Structure 1
Amino acid sequence: MVHVYNCHPFASQQIVQVEQEPGLLCSGGGVIFVVATGGCKVEAYSLDQEGCPLLCRFATMGTPRIIQYSAIGDYLVTIEDKNNATYLRAYTNWRYQAEEKSRVGVRMLGHLLRGASQRSVAQMEIIEIPLSERPVAVACCPVTGDLLVACEKTLVLFTLRRESKHNLNQLNPQSSFQNTQPSHSKKAGLGPQQVALCAGYIAVHAELEVLVVKLHSSLDPKTAEELADMNTCVDQGEDPGDFLVLQRHQELLGERARDCGVSVTIEKTGMEETGQYTLSFVLYRRFAPDFFQGCSVEETKLHSLQLHPMFTRNKSMQSPEEPSCVFCFFSLPTTGYLYSLRGGVELLSAYQYPEKVLRAVLTDDLLHVITKSALQCFSVRCAAVAARVEDPYIDTTMRACPPVSLKVCALRMQLFIGLRTMCALGRHVMLLSAADAEPPEEADRATHTRSFMSKKWAGSRPKAPSVTGHGWNLYVVNTVSPITLYHEMVEYSCRYAETHPMGESCRHLLSEAHLILRASLIKPLPTAKGEPRELPEMPTDGEKAQRPTTDAFTDSKAERQVMETAFRENCAQLGDCFSRGNQKDCHLALPYYRMSGLSITEVMSRNRPLPISPCTYGPGFVFYLNHFLLEETDQILSQEAADEIIDIFSQTEPSQLVTVCASPAMADVSPAKVLRRLQHLEQATGISVPLTVTMATMSLRLDDLRRYTELMEKHAEMLLVYGFIEEPRLLLHGGSGGRDTQVRPTQLANQLRKDQPGLLTAAMVALHENNKVQLEQADQVFKELGCEHSLLVDFWEAVLVASTQEAIIQELLFRLAVVYIDRLTSGMAAPSKLLKSTEDLINSCSHYGTLYPWLRILTPASNTGSQQQEALQKLQSLLCGPSMPIGAVQPLLEQLSLGATLWGLSLHVLCATRRGQHGNCIEKLLDHCPQAIIPYANHHLQETYMALWWQKLLPELCNRTRAETENGILLAALKETLLVVANEISPVEFLELMPDDGTALYFLPHLLACSQRQLLA
């Protein structure tokens, strides 16, 4: 269905003063080319100047049947008839014919002229392009300037090369086609009537069939052959014989298009550049004539085939010369079809015309079509596709755009008499009209049609033929600027809003206005003089005057600023529509309000219901408020605005009051008012932990500590922790934006630090384990609370107990080791009351190991202060556990003197033991604490380390006992060692261990014990 709106996209029109009746038209580069009916002369008129003055005229070698212009390369290509033969020719440097006295050179494609052209003398050149078949249609690529020629069975592609001795980005105007060669040809089993070429896409249509393929280049011959085999279709149609076969409607998109039955093969011409070419099928559509409607075959032919590129500002995903989008348009007499090709083939719109259309032209902003008596204008969805290509995240809560499926609308019908053909360029639509005497039946049909159209379409009176006496005219109709059309659409929508505030027409018109602005805003800006242009350029001398100057660049920026302001206004208007709309689309109010740049107070003022209006707040507005309050912003609402939000949610969604009150933006809300609303909510829904905690927070704001305590005591501590998991913002603000987001504790968190530090720590651990807060953010919270030396360490210990993430565990082990060492060495004050003792941690956490027995000898409780004792035992427990990385903590222990304190010695020995350096530990203990050597040996010198009893410990004790005969500790240790050794080795081995200094008598009892063990064995 096509919506009809009587907008005015046409601003003015002028008549081009051509001397003879035009027969062919084409445009490009700010110029309109006109060929008189049956003539052999081309006239070029300037569209950029008032009155469309004549630029130049030049003669053709034959009678042009088709003309096509390429702005890239600035050449005009024609299919001409002469002497019953058809020729393909290209005209370059035609601008030199302004005085019609310049020399003209004629040459064959690929052959240079001798003399004049080589000396760069200014002259027009006519290039003869030989073909093996008769040319039927031509097309020029608007992106590269390449030329596609359709013959009866073959398509030939000519590549325009860019070469110059002076500037690689320019093409020598005297030799534009010097290196333009037939790149390759394609044989198609489809009789082409019209072709189109754009950025590698090739479209061709017959009477009722359309085929679009994509040409790929590959440097790998093997890959190219595989793709060629895969992408080649073989026509398997059967011979119809004497039967009349009527084809059915068929649409094949993407990879399915290869099953269309049309044979397409690539043939090499021998003049290709390095590389291979392959084809992929993009789109195939076949139509069947509907004879039951009284239409003849002639009336059902396809026409107006067009491939339209669209460039955007975002070039991160593509080459600067590649268009962001490519669209394919073709039309039947009563229906037009617009497809998007890049990024997946999709039918965007189907245009239903009210009467037979002769010609249609697609632009970025609008679709223009002509009938015999009218110029009609339709909206297009190109901007909606391009916006999504430019911004893949556009359909989110941050940004929005009307969908590509939005129904198209007809904006205007301008009546003319006897329209024949048209072309369009920028904001100009060129029309050729010729008033002929109509047969009676045609006149009746036209009268009936105009009568019907006058009822359905609003239009102006038909234009009478020119008073010059001839019955033809060449019109240039100028369309209005996008900002002007936007304002008219907005004004039009306001009239709908007065009668149907929530009607579809109002929203549809605002969406159309949005796309009109989008189409202009996504285009690349023309750059200032001297800067590189966004689009590829190949200028000639005649194009130099068309380059954007600094003033034009400034004007474009100013115009863009105006459109950006209008764009924000439009987003606000669309936000208003969706905020009051139905539940289905209400979520779109959020992104449109965001794009509008309005503050929340401004949005609230736009959504207040009128005192006399029965309407309440719309679901889209409430959805917007919900999302705004869920975000962590620095914006704090005034008390008046915050209280109004409480009233809004009390009316619409009272269950969301807890979430609303937890928002940092509501910091200045009236706590007394909130308490009253929450009490009503509690009476209606019952008690819940978040609701109770929110009421306690409001009591805290009112300095009612008694009421606060009563409310907090309603629930057990673990239930309160679950409540904080459900609504973390009761404790923290700013924690949802990632690990680098600043986090602030709330007033309730400060109160818990004083009254219930255990609850605060448990809640923070629960939030961390549920990914509500990051480790660094928790550190920041405890530091801001002023308890980084107490509760922060307790938090680390508790997270270490609960966490299963290896990275977090290793980070916390190192942090805790640093804290424990600092408390031991620098006298850093430990809290008087610890949440978890060493015994608690050993029993609840596998990372804390049980203290080795010999540590009690080295570090008795009386040797260290009460504040340092827990730190030492926790550090020792970590070193006794399996998880502490010794390599990371070893450098920290170097600051501890080995002999200064026994607890320092214990840490060194623990580290050496974890490294397997038991011999070194034996020496350290014998040097500083020999009474611990036997407990150490009994615990560690087992299994694989058992041999150290007699290889290391026994020799050391013998030597030290001999040196200190009166040392009872060493002597007792020696006796214990001898007992272990005697039980572990044979008598012969024991004898070998005895010293040869005459003291063997001392070892005889142990030798006897060793012998008795052997006898028993």
Structure 2
Amino acid sequence: MVHVYNCHPFASQHIVSAEQEPGLVCCGGGALFVVSAGGCKIEAYALQREGCPLICRFSSMGSVLSLHHSAVGDYLVTIEEKNKATYLRAYTNWRYQAAEKTRVGVRLLGHLLRGSSFRGAPKEQMEIIEIPLFEPPLCMACCSLTGDLLVGCAKSLVVFSLKRQTLSEQLSVLDFERVLILHIQGWSPSQVAFCAGYIALQTELEVLVVKLTPRQKSSPAAEEHALLPEDIMTETSVNEDMTKDGFSPLHAQDDFFLFPKHQEMLGNEAQECGVSLVLEWTGMEAESRGDMSAAYVLFRRFAPDFFQGCSVEETRLHSLQLHPMFTGGEPTCMFVFFSLPNTGYMYSLKNTVELVSTYQYPEKTHQAVLSDQFLYIITRNALQCFTVRCSAVAARVDDPYIDTTMKACPPITMEVCALRIQLFIGLKVLCQDGNQIVLLTATVMLFRSRKTSVCKPTEPADSGHGWNLYVITSVSTLQLYREIVEYSKRYEQSSPSSQSCVHLLSEGHLLLRTALLLQDCESAERAQLQQAFQESCAHLGDRFSRFDKKDCHLALPYYKMSGLTVTDVIKRNMSMSSVSTGYGKGFIFFLKHSLYEETMEELSKDMADKVLEIFSVAEPAQLPHVVSSPSMLNADPDRAVTHLRQLEACGTPSITPSLCMASLALRKCDLHSYRQQMDRHAEMLQVYGFIEEPKLLLHGRGKSVLPTILSQHLHDTQEGLLVAAVVALHENSKIRLEEADLFFQELCKDGVEAESSPQLLVDFWEALLVASSHESIVQELLFRLTSVYIDRITRRDHSGVKALKTAEDLVSVHTCLACFSTF
């Protein structure tokens, strides 16, 4: 399903004033290249300048059948026809043609002219490089990373490496070297794509993607992957004896026609596709590259679909494209896109090969172009803009914290949407460069017949020419994001938890994430994008905080990414909900985890009391944990005690609530109430309460462990209970040994003991030595205690040192501590 909205991703459009009717169009490097209908004149226009002024024009050596621009090297490569022969040519330094009567040099690939034309001062001249081939070229593609050239022929693919040859200190020229030939058996590509070692081939109904990788040691028989799938029958696969008996394959009989079936092979399975690739290295570095092989990545075959509103002849693939996504110097992700007339497919190729998105078009498409943020398609009379999931895939590859409680990102599988459908008449060609989209339109002459079989063309109604060349500029990411947010408010008003509202906000979030991943903006713009990104996280957190079922947990990471304080989040949710109407489970989930993780700021008295009120209604069982949080130190103790007593009245076990009320009594300096609560349960049961809520004794984790007011009071009055409780916490994996050391050192830092290991810490080690069953812990404790005992013996100064237990006491208490270790 594709959601359709009415946003405005296009800012402006204007017409390029070309003198002659365009036959072919391509763009790249900030330039628009137009081949006249005759095919022998190429004009270049400046896309980034207002009005797209003409840069230069030059003649080709033949009739141009196809052209492509490479940003790396800034060269133009063409397939041309002359005298019924097909040629491949590259035009370098074409910008020098802006000056009139500039020289043009023509040379063969690899043959640098070192004669008079390069003597003396460097010459500013365009060069035409003839690239010879064994077979006529059918299609071509340039690598956007290296500028290397891939040429598709009937039986092979040829890779040319882009070289920059230095002729002198002041002169260097571009050249190509043929480095690789991929011999294909049984395939004739109609379109190819090439990027970062990935090679994509396309026929009418099949797509194959391979990657040049270091060869893995294997048997010689596996070097040529010429395995045929069972659903394909060839004459050579038929047993000769069966042929003698009168059997012949289906496609050899005139009465049958064999249709291929739908097939998808991903990863290593793709080598079973039946397409054989044999590599032949031909460059100067052939010996060092001999250990390279072609790894099969993806194979997809389609069967003609008679129910798509297209004839069999029209059901063919188009718009093959390899698209890299960068978060640094190397591509983080690689995508391949290809399209049928009514459906487009985008796969992720790096790491795991998987189908990312399927695009269902409302009508038959002619062409599609994939970019970092959008997929543009053209039908006969409309330009459509779809969202993509490139940044969602790249974010998960680049950041391991995505999809955790720390960070979130809209899912890769989220349904795509059409942001805009812009109407045109007679769309023919689509191309894109940066934030510029180029469209070629041409009106079709109408054919009418009245009671006769003769069809006569009818001229277009307007008196001018029947074609136009449009350049459309995309709006900025920030402007489109703000429009999407406003658009989402329409759905929010009708239904606060509407999926359409969440979907739109997720699309806006991905747009901002894409812009931040690209890292090609100025610092001021990036700061604005970062601010908008945090705002989008806050909006998504608000939406998920209202959810009661699916995805409500996403409120936590989105709020964390928003940069909002917990107080800000509480205020936002208070404005959207109330205690009487109820708060969403997403908000409660966020609040609960923020309190448990102890990462939130200390709340004010009003906010802390509000949190108590929220949990007393939403999840009363969590009140002991909430009251014990270090962020709730400013809460009103009397209100907290009231809520805890209400919890006890509901039948909740009273051990932990009693300890909480005892801690609250100490905050009020009410020793009488403290003693009443502590006397309600035996010390052994109180240890169970500390295991259930360790924050009653200590706050913080890692290198920042602080004792609470209750643990400080126990240090002065009940050291045995304190040591037993910490031993139980350690044995139940609530605290690590290093954290326990920090806890006792912080607790005893104001004592009279001069040694580095306070006696209470030594008592803890001795008690843990008796209770622990972990060999590594026992060895560590033995080493520490031995050091302490040796130090005391050598110093013979025990003033102020009073052990909590004697050796006999420690042995007798073993049974008590052992029960806590298995709690």
Fold shared per TM-score above 0.5: yes
CA distance in 2, matches of 1:658, 1:672: 14
Query: Is the aligned partner of 1:151 residue 2:153?
Result: yes
Q: Post-superposition shift, 1:824? A: 4.4
Which structure 2 residues correspond to residues 699-714 of structure 1 after superposition, within 5 A?
699-714=665-680
Which residue among 575, 584, 590 is the counterpart of 1:618?
Answer: 584
Structure 2 counterpart of 1:571, one-letter code:
C
Query: Is the aligned partner of 1:269 residue 2:282?
Result: yes
Aligned partners of 1:632 and 1:734 also within 8 Å: yes
Q: Post-superposition shift, 1:726? A: 1.7
Structure 2 counterpart of 1:665, one-letter code:
S
Q: Which residue in 1 is equivalent to 2:457?
A: none
Query: Is the aligned partner of 1:57 residue 2:57?
Result: yes
Q: Which residue in 1 is equivalent to 2:788?
A: 819
Assess, with a 3 A threshold, how the Cα gap between structure 1 residues 773 and 136 changes in structure 2: closer, same or farther: same
Q: Which residue in 2 is equivalent to 1:3?
A: 3
Assess, with a 3 A threshold, how the Cα gap between structure 1 residues 841 and 690 changes in structure 2: closer, same or farther: closer
Assess, with a 3 A threshold, how the Cα gap between structure 1 residues 844 and 404 changes in structure 2: closer, same or farther: same
Q: Post-superposition shift, 1:117? A: 5.6
Q: Post-superposition shift, 1:48? A: 1.4
Q: Post-superposition shift, 1:354? A: 1.0
Assess, with a 3 A threshold, how the Cα gap between structure 1 residues 294 and 629 changes in structure 2: closer, same or farther: closer
Assess, with a 3 A threshold, how the Cα gap between structure 1 residues 715 and 292 changes in structure 2: closer, same or farther: same
CA distance in 1, matches of 2:65, 2:579: 67
Q: Which residue in 2 is equivalent to 1:68?
A: 68
Which residue among 189, 197, 200 is the counterpart of 2:197?
Answer: 200
Q: Post-superposition shift, 1:612? A: 8.9
Which structure 2 residues correspond to residues 767-778 of structure 1 after superposition, within 5 A?
767-778=729-740
CA distance in 2, matches of 1:223, 1:165: 41
Assess, with a 3 A threshold, how the Cα gap between structure 1 residues 192 and 798 changes in structure 2: closer, same or farther: same
Assess, with a 3 A threshold, how the Cα gap between structure 1 residues 144 and 610 changes in structure 2: closer, same or farther: closer
Q: Which residue in 2 is equivalent to 1:950?
A: none
Deviations 1:546-577 (A, max 9, x none): xxxxxxxxxx1111111111111110000000
Q: Which residue in 1 is equivalent to 2:715?
A: 753
Aligned partners of 2:380 and 2:425 also within 8 Å: yes
Query: Is the aligned partner of 1:420 residue 2:428?
Result: yes
Assess, with a 3 A threshold, how the Cα gap between structure 1 residues 181 and 632 changes in structure 2: closer, same or farther: same
Deviations 1:356-387 (A, max 9, x none): 11111011011111111111111111111111
Q: Which residue in 2 is equivalent to 1:764?
A: 726
Which residue among 294, 301, 317 is the counterpart of 2:316?
Answer: 301
Query: Is the aligned partner of 1:41 residue 2:32?
Result: no
Q: Which residue in 1 is equivalent to 2:473?
A: 478
Residue segments in structure 2 that go unaligned for 5+ positions in a row = 236-250, 450-459, 752-756, 815-823
Q: Which residue in 2 is equivalent to 1:97?
A: 97
Assess, with a 3 A threshold, how the Cα gap between structure 1 residues 237 and 161 changes in structure 2: closer, same or farther: farther
Which residue among 237, 246, 271 is the counterpart of 2:233?
Answer: 237
Normalised to the residue count of structure 1, the TM-score between the two structures is 0.73
Q: Which residue in 2 is equivalent to 1:353?
A: 361
SS of residue paired to 2:208 = strand
Aligned partners of 2:156 and 2:181 also within 8 Å: no
Q: Which residue in 2 is equivalent to 1:572?
A: 538
Q: Post-superposition shift, 1:668? A: 1.1
Q: What percentage of aligned pairs have identical amino acids?
A: 56
**418-427 or 783-792, which deviates more:** 783-792
CA distance in 2, matches of 1:830, 1:781: 23
CA distance in 1, matches of 2:27, 2:43: 11
SS of residue paired to 1:324 = strand
Q: Which residue in 2 is equivalent to 1:917?
A: none
Structure 2 counterpart of 1:253, one-letter code:
L
SS of residue paired to 1:64 = strand
Aligned partners of 1:189 and 1:264 also within 8 Å: no
Q: Which residue in 2 is equivalent to 1:809?
A: 778
Q: Which residue in 2 is equivalent to 1:838?
A: 807
SS of residue paired to 1:400 = coil
CA distance in 2, matches of 1:380, 1:188: 35
Q: Post-superposition shift, 1:524? A: 2.6
Assess, with a 3 A threshold, how the Cα gap between structure 1 residues 844 and 618 changes in structure 2: closer, same or farther: closer
Assess, with a 3 A threshold, how the Cα gap between structure 1 residues 689 and 337 changes in structure 2: closer, same or farther: same
Aligned partners of 2:565 and 2:601 also within 8 Å: no
Deviations 1:452-499 (A, max 9, x none): xxxxxxxxxxxxx99882111110011101111101000100111111
Q: Which residue in 1 is equivalent to 2:401?
A: 393
CA distance in 1, matches of 2:93, 2:413: 45
Q: Which residue in 1 is equivalent to 2:765?
A: 796
Aligned partners of 2:225 and 2:272 also within 8 Å: no
SS of residue paired to 2:34 = strand
Structure 2 counterpart of 1:694, one-letter code:
C
Q: Which residue in 2 is equivalent to 1:130?
A: 132
Size of the aligned set, in residue pairs, is: 775
Query: Is the aligned partner of 1:697 residue 2:651?
Result: no
Assess, with a 3 A threshold, how the Cα gap between structure 1 residues 610 and 301 changes in structure 2: closer, same or farther: closer
Assess, with a 3 A threshold, how the Cα gap between structure 1 residues 440 and 495 changes in structure 2: closer, same or farther: farther
CA distance in 2, matches of 1:400, 1:226: 47
CA distance in 2, matches of 1:423, 1:227: 44
Deviations 1:228-263 (A, max 9, x none): 627554576324211201111111111111122222
CA distance in 1, matches of 2:567, 2:48: 47
Residue segments in structure 1 that go unaligned for 5+ positions in a row = 314-319, 442-464, 527-555, 846-1017
Structure 2 counterpart of 1:783, one-letter code:
Q
Which residue among 204, 210, 216 is the counterpart of 2:213?
Answer: 216
Q: Post-superposition shift, 1:439? A: 4.1
Q: Which residue in 2 is equivalent to 1:784?
A: 746
Q: Which residue in 2 is equivalent to 1:283?
A: 298
Q: Which residue in 1 is equivalent to 2:501?
A: 506
Which structure 2 residues correspond to residues 527-546 of structure 1 after superposition, within 5 A?
none
Structure with greater proportional helix content = 1
Assess, with a 3 A threshold, how the Cα gap between structure 1 residues 673 and 150 changes in structure 2: closer, same or farther: same
Q: Post-superposition shift, 1:754? A: 1.8
**649-658 or 121-130, which deviates more:** 121-130
CA distance in 2, matches of 1:188, 1:364: 34
Aligned partners of 1:790 and 1:831 also within 8 Å: no
CA distance in 2, matches of 1:116, 1:494: 71
Which structure 2 residues correspond to residues 487-566 of structure 1 after superposition, within 5 A?
487-525=482-520, 556-566=522-532
Aligned partners of 2:178 and 2:283 also within 8 Å: no
Pairwise CA RMSD: 2.5
Assess, with a 3 A threshold, how the Cα gap between structure 1 residues 304 and 678 changes in structure 2: closer, same or farther: same
**836-845 or 792-801, which deviates more:** 836-845
**773-782 or 809-818, which deviates more:** 809-818
SS of residue paired to 1:223 = coil
Assess, with a 3 A threshold, how the Cα gap between structure 1 residues 610 and 71 changes in structure 2: closer, same or farther: closer
Assess, with a 3 A threshold, how the Cα gap between structure 1 residues 490 and 805 changes in structure 2: closer, same or farther: same
Structure 1 counterpart of 2:279, one-letter code:
I
Q: Which residue in 2 is equivalent to 1:461?
A: none
SS of residue paired to 2:635 = coil
SS of residue paired to 1:160 = strand
CA distance in 2, matches of 1:568, 1:20: 50
Assess, with a 3 A threshold, how the Cα gap between structure 1 residues 777 and 612 changes in structure 2: closer, same or farther: closer
Query: Is the aligned partner of 1:246 residue 2:259?
Result: yes
Structure with greater proportional strand content = 2
Q: Which residue in 1 is equivalent to 2:174?
A: 176
Deviations 1:140-196 (A, max 9, x none): 0101111110011211111223564899xxxx975211x522433332422210110
Q: Which residue in 2 is equivalent to 1:650?
A: 616
Q: Post-superposition shift, 1:21? A: 0.5
CA distance in 1, matches of 2:174, 2:463: 41
Aligned partners of 1:79 and 1:87 also within 8 Å: yes
Assess, with a 3 A threshold, how the Cα gap between structure 1 residues 470 and 385 changes in structure 2: closer, same or farther: same
Q: Post-superposition shift, 1:215? A: 1.3
Asked which structure has the greater RCO (Cα within 8 Å, sep 6+), the reply is 2
SS of residue paired to 1:300 = coil
